[in-house]
Structure 1
Amino acid sequence: MRIALLSIFALLLVYAERPADSAVLELSTSSRMPARFYIRKNNANFRLQPTDALIPIRGDTFYRDPLWTRSADPKLLEVVAADQFHYLLLKGEASIVLPPGKYKIEAYRGLFYKPAFDEFELKPNETRKLELTLAPWPGADPGAWISADDHIHLTRTRAENHVYLGWLEAEDLTVGNFLQLQRQMDAAPQYAFGRAGEVKRRGYVIRPGHESRNEYWGHINILGPERLIRPLSTGLMYANTPESWPYPSLLFAEGRKAGGTVGYAHFFQKPQHSTIYMDAALGNIDFVEVFQFGVLKTDAWYELLNAGIRVTGIAGSDFPVNLGRMRPWPNWLPLLGPERAVVKGRPGENSWETWARGVREGRVMVSNGPIVELDLDPNTGAATASAAFYRSLEALEIVRNGEVIASSRGPRVETRVDQAESCWVAARVRAETFPGEPVIQAHTNPVYLLKDGKPVAVPSARRSLSAKWQEELAYYRGAGIDFGGAQRRREFFEQAERALSRLRP
């Protein structure tokens, strides 16, 4: 009896909250797929209220943005950032109360689905059903790829897992790497690490890791370790002591021992400081973030590859920082995984392990929209690049040691690669880009053709990298860095000099 009375009270409360003459939109997607959507009224974005769940993104440096819920099992999530309102159908359907009027709606699901658009008019007290069809665009097979964002900062307890998994599914992001970090105090904390902190559903997975930062050494990501490796940050900018110890090489070694996949965030260049050239030269890293904030850093990446350094380029959003980098936020881009590191493979019980293995092996495509693939015969040098997207393709290119050797405006291009000396080969594509969007593009990681087993060695790239690292070393020697002891200082500079000797032509 008490339950019945409570149910009646809840229904009366909902009815009381509903404005007079309002209408109800019973919104759903085909096959009830979770998706992100926007509603416009009178040619302006319309804010829905109330919603079942809300994340107001303030975006301070402590990443304390909480998830608020009105329901134990939310259907509709609102993400508010930079005065924009983003809505996610966590279960592919929801009832939305709206005032009468004319509306436009658009829905998105990751990178491999064509957006859906519709217009409708609601009359007073009307209840209308609207189903939006979201289907993969021709050439896309969402079930053949594992897509990931390596760099998400969201505070997470077990209680939020079902909402965050729904969000990943709405963005069709297979893997979300949720990273704890530190700015004096711990930020974006995770309740556990490794398998104990992993949660998965229907092939989608959240795996915890952490970002470690220092004003001299740069920012590094340790993805998926079985334990949290402290100190999370060092130095006065990010931690609580002046010591800049341990430096990244030591953290990478511990991260790998803990089962993590390790590398550099942001790919810092001058004027920021970073030990990336040291760790890349010494083989201490698996990856570097080359695609972030809408920018693909091909020049810096190509220079590493031309110098003979084999490192996988990946993509990560640095969520929620990304939401403040483009205003207004382009509707096409997912909030999580606007740029993605994508590995060929079927999502399933071991999605994170399959993706991490692909990163370590260099089998990654980075993309914010199109698909691009490269087929290369190591015996003949015959290379074929293929690409697909629902928008027109502007340029499909094959590059050898960073130079374009074949190009087409169509979905396929072929050439034969010169194998007179060791080289790397990759494919890249640019697609139609709408106003307000970053360049819509994708890029494969390199495939290597090695002459007599010798590494790639473009002299100009090696001279450039060795000069950059020598300049960084000169800065470190004069910067007054607190290593916490003379022996530690000697250890660092011994490794730094060893890296310099490897970088020299």
Structure 2
Amino acid sequence: MNRFWVLLCAVVLWCADAILLPGAEVVINVVDTATDAAVPCRMHLRDSAGEAVLSETLPSYRDHFVCPGTATLDLPAGEYTYEVERGPEYVAATGMFTVVDGAKKDVAITIARITDMAAAGWWSGELHVHRDVQDIELLMQAEDLHIAPVITWWNNRNVWKDQAIPEQLLVRFDGNRFYHLMAGEDEREGGALLYFNLTRPLEIIGATREFPSPMAFLQTARQHKQVWVDIEKPFWWDVPIWLASGQVDSIGLANNHMCRSRMYEDEAWGKPRDEQRLPAPRGNGMWTQELYYKILNSGLRIPPSAGSASGVLPNPVGYNRVYVQLDGELAYDAWWAGLRDGRSFVTNGPLLKVTANGKLPGHIFKAKANGPFDVNLVADITGRDEIDVIEVIQNGEVVQSLTPNAQSFSGELPAITFDRSGWFLVRVRCKNPRTFRFASTAAYYVEIGDEPQRVSKSAAQFFVDWVEERTARVKLTDPQMRRAVLKHHKTAREFWQDRVKAANAD
């Protein structure tokens, strides 16, 4: 019997030794070529089997971890590959190294800037961060991100439930980086609204899928003048109701269905697209664009935003981001004001700087009625991906396009002309077979003569029909609850019907 146990222990120890391969300490140093100094970054490290290798001591998530420029790991012997990134303004570094049993390994990696957007007055931010507050500073530095409100309450989850709310909710660090601790999310049957710059969470715990209406919380939030409300994605079922309220500030054009290495190819529980017309993997991205253009065609002027949902979906922080142009140094309130004015572009790859007749996105051109209005466009585009196409979108239609077959472009785009009031923007799509890699400016607006805004009848009718579809989906059986929810649908229906009547374009 004793001999049996001795043999069994020997077998167990032999198996354990076979599984736990000997290894060594690996020290990885990442240096910025311009400064020759260690630089915070994100690392995707994989072993010879293609499995992600994470750090036990640094912020890690899904397939990556971030480091302040140096990472020390204990790794089994074998071959490893890496990708190192620092947001879209840096070239990605790739390579491999081999770990030999018992031999300490030093790995030196250099990364180089493509461009310095902040030096040109463009400041990056993103509006959908679900990561731990204690990690946010390093996460932002690793992604070279300047604005990042952190979602600390979300339906029945509330970080502040068992701890005091900090007196200082806005934190500035590293000179010109800001995060706010009171971002929140109401995500239910009608979709998701994101809330920013409040002083405490909304009383949303206990809300069911349909009741109370998201409009009840939206109206409460609007009692705080500093609040910013973002429609998280354009295809959520309640979008036409939220838009009709006039109480939302932005909408997620670069959103979390667009991921670094893949797409979420459906619309979750939102309004579905025609998958025959808009097939995967890019169909969801194009549907998002189409819906945003219908909003603009209906005469509403709402700027685009960006969010990645890191901490919930497989994105790094700041993968989807919005750049806002400011004169002078970054200030937190000024960044939000610039976002409201549309001096911005959204991106998950290419860096897109555009001027139209010398003006930045968001500009409103006012022209006399006695002739066409010409727009001359100049673009400066840089990035890591090869450009598939540069498109000029006018009143929702692609009217000009270029295919530079390069990673960058600098120069004039084909001009466009307006005979009547309308809007336009510039979009870049990249050659990436796995995801919708793109950038888009916010809209420019053209007002000609006594017709200040273009209102499309078909776009407005699209939202009338959408409200009808949404109303039919409400399954509340309690009469009082049903009335409380559907009164907002009725108001929205009337709003969009009035838009149809006021339309001045097809």
* TM-score (structure 2 length as normaliser): 0.75
- Give, in angstroms, the shift of residue 367 of structure 1: 0.8
Distance 1:431 1:484, change over 3 A: closer
Matched, 1:268 2:235: yes
Change (3 A) 1:44 1:219: closer
* Map of 2:117 onto structure 1: 141
Residue 472 of structure 1 deviates from its aligned partner by 3.6
Aligned partner of 2:87 among 104, 110, 115: 110
2:242 to 279, 293, 315: 279
Q: Alpha-carbon deviation of 1:88?
A: 1.3
* Distance in 1 (alpha carbons) for counterparts of 2:333 and 2:165: 14
Distance between the aligned counterparts of 1:42 and 1:287, measured in 2? 44
Q: Using the aligned pairs only, state the percent identity.
A: 20
Specify whether residues 253 and 417 from structure 1 end up closer, same or farther in structure 2 by C-alpha distance, changes over 3 A only: farther
Distance 1:320 1:463 in 2: 38
* CA root-mean-square deviation: 3.1
Match of 2:333 in 1: 353
Query: Does the aligned pair in 2 maintain the 1:427–1:444 contact within 8 Å?
Result: yes
* 2:465 matches 1:467: yes
**CA 1:37 to 1:404, structure 2 compared with 1: closer, same or farther past 3 Å?**
same
SS in 2 for 1:196: coil
Displacement of 1:345 in angstroms is: 3.9
Residue in structure 2 matched with residue 62 of structure 1 by the alignment:
none
* 144-153 or 27-36, which deviates more: 144-153
Work out the CA distance in 2 between the residues paired with 1:45 and 1:150: 30
For residues 1-51 of structure 1, give each alpha carbon's deviation from its aligned partner in whole angstroms, at most 9, with x where no partner exists: xxxxxxxxxxxxxxxxxx9964332211112111111333335235356x2
Is the aligned partner of 1:251 residue 2:218? Answer: yes
Cα distance, 1:303 vs structure 2: 0.7
- Correspondence list, 1:144-155, <5 A: 144-154=121-131
Deviations 1:443-480 (Å, cap 9, x if unpaired)? Answer: 1111001122521212221222223234445666x854
* Aligned partner of 2:323 among 297, 318, 342: 342
CA change 1:466–1:440 in 2 (3 A) is same
* Structure-1 separation of matches of 2:354 and 2:465: 33
User: How far apart in 1 are the matches of 2:485 and 2:47?
Assistant: 62
Give 3-state SS (helix, strand or coil) of 1:415's partner: strand
Does 1:309 pair with 2:289?
Answer: no
Task: Give 1:87's aligned amino acid.
Answer: F
- 1:298 equivalenced with 2:317 (yes/no): no
Match of 2:143 in 1: 171
Partner of 1:455: helix, strand, or coil?
A: coil
Task: Classify the secondary structure of the residue corresponding to 1:231.
Answer: coil
**Structure 2 counterpart of 1:44, one-letter code:** G
CA contact (8 A) 2:149 2:196 kept: yes
Q: Deviations over 1:112-160 (max 9, x none)?
A: 11111233334443334332112112x553544322221222454xxx2
Instruction: Choose which of 183, 186, 206 in structure 2 pairs with 1:209.
Output: 183
Matched, 1:218 2:191: yes
1:86 matched to 2:85:
no
2:48 aligns with: 42
Distance between the aligned counterparts of 1:192 and 1:373, measured in 2?
Answer: 43
Q: 2:296·2:302 contact (CA, 8 Å) conserved in 1?
A: yes
C-alpha change, 1:229 and 1:348, in structure 2 (3 Å) is farther
| C-alpha distance in structure 2 between counterparts of 1:355 and 1:37, whole Å | 29
Distance 1:384 1:195, change over 3 A: farther
Q: Alpha-carbon deviations, 1:211-267, whole Å to 9, x = none? A: 12443x432111122332323563x33xxxx8425x426624633624111132232
- Counterpart-to-counterpart distance in 1, 2:118 and 2:341: 21
Residue 292 of structure 2 aligns with an amino acid whose one-letter code is W
Matched, 1:391 2:363: no
Greater CA drift, 365-374 or 456-465 = 456-465
Counterparts in 2 of 1:281 and 1:192: CA distance versus 1, 3 Å: farther
**Cα distance in 2, alignment partners of residues 394 and 146 from structure 1:** 25
Flag the 1:250–1:125 CA change in 2: closer, same or farther, 3 A: closer
Q: Within 1, Cα distance between the matches of 2:21 and 2:152?
A: 46
Distance 1:482 1:28, change over 3 A: farther
Kept in 2, the 8 Å contact 1:195–1:226? The answer is no
* Cα separation, 1, equivalents of 2:478 and 2:499: 24
The amino acid of 1:444's aligned partner reads T
- 1:489 CA displacement: 6.8
Residues in 2 aligned to 1:108 and 1:368: alpha-carbon distance in whole angstroms:
13
Matched, 1:131 2:108: yes
2: CA distance between counterparts of 1:126 and 1:485?
A: 69
Give yes or no for contact 2:242–2:248 (8 Å, CA) kept in 1: yes
1:200 aligns with 2:172: yes
Given the superposition, is the C-alpha separation of residues 192 and 369 from structure 1 closer, same or farther in structure 2, using an over 3 Å criterion? farther
**Contact 1:291–1:366, Cα closer than 8 Å, also in 2:** yes
Contact (CA 8 Å) 1:317, 1:339: kept in 2 or not?
Answer: yes
Which 5+ residue runs of structure 1 have no aligned equivalent?
A: 1-18, 53-75, 324-333
Q: SS of the counterpart of 2:71?
A: strand
Code of the residue aligned with 1:260 in structure 2: it is V
Distance 1:492 1:22, change over 3 A: closer
Q: Please, which moves more after superposition, 421-430 or 205-214?
A: 205-214
Q: Provide the C-alpha distance between the structure 1 equivalents of 2:194 and 2:166, rounded to a whole number of angstroms.
A: 14
User: d(CA) in 1 for partners of 2:350 and 2:381?
Assistant: 7
Alpha-carbon shift at residue 268 of structure 1 (Å): 3.3
Give the structure 2 partner of residue 32 of structure 1: 38
Q: Name the structure 1 match of 2:16.
A: none
Task: State the alpha-carbon separation in 1 of the partners of residues 424 and 111 from structure 2.
Answer: 35
Matched position secondary structure for 2:464: helix
User: Aligned in 2, Cα 1:472/1:44: closer, same or farther, shift over 3 Å?
Assistant: closer
Q: 1:460 is matched by which residue type in structure 2?
A: S
| Correspondence 1:230-249 to 2 at 5 A | 230-231=203-204, 234=207, 236-237=208-209, 243-245=211-213, 247-248=214-215
Instruction: Name the SS of the counterpart of 2:291 in structure 1.
Output: helix
- 2:106 and 2:333 map into 1 onto residues whose CA distance is 41
- Counterpart check, 1:186 vs 2:160: no
Paired residues of 2:250 and 2:305 also in contact (CA < 8 A):
yes
In the TM superposition, residue 362 of structure 1 has moved relative to its aligned partner by 1.9
**Is contact 1:256–1:262 with CA below 8 Å preserved after alignment?**
no
Shift of 1:421: 0.9
Contact 1:153–1:180, Cα closer than 8 Å, also in 2: yes
1:265-311 CA-partner distances (Å, limit 9, x unpaired): 23234xxx31x223323422111122221153111111111111111
Aligned-partner residue type, residue 43 of structure 2:
F
Q: Secondary structure at the match of 1:211?
A: strand
1:228 and 2:227 equivalent? no
Worse overlay, 206-215 or 139-148: 139-148
Three-state SS of the structure 1 residue aligned to 2:168 is: helix
Change (3 A) 1:489 1:167: closer
Structure 1 residue 195 displacement after superposition = 7.0
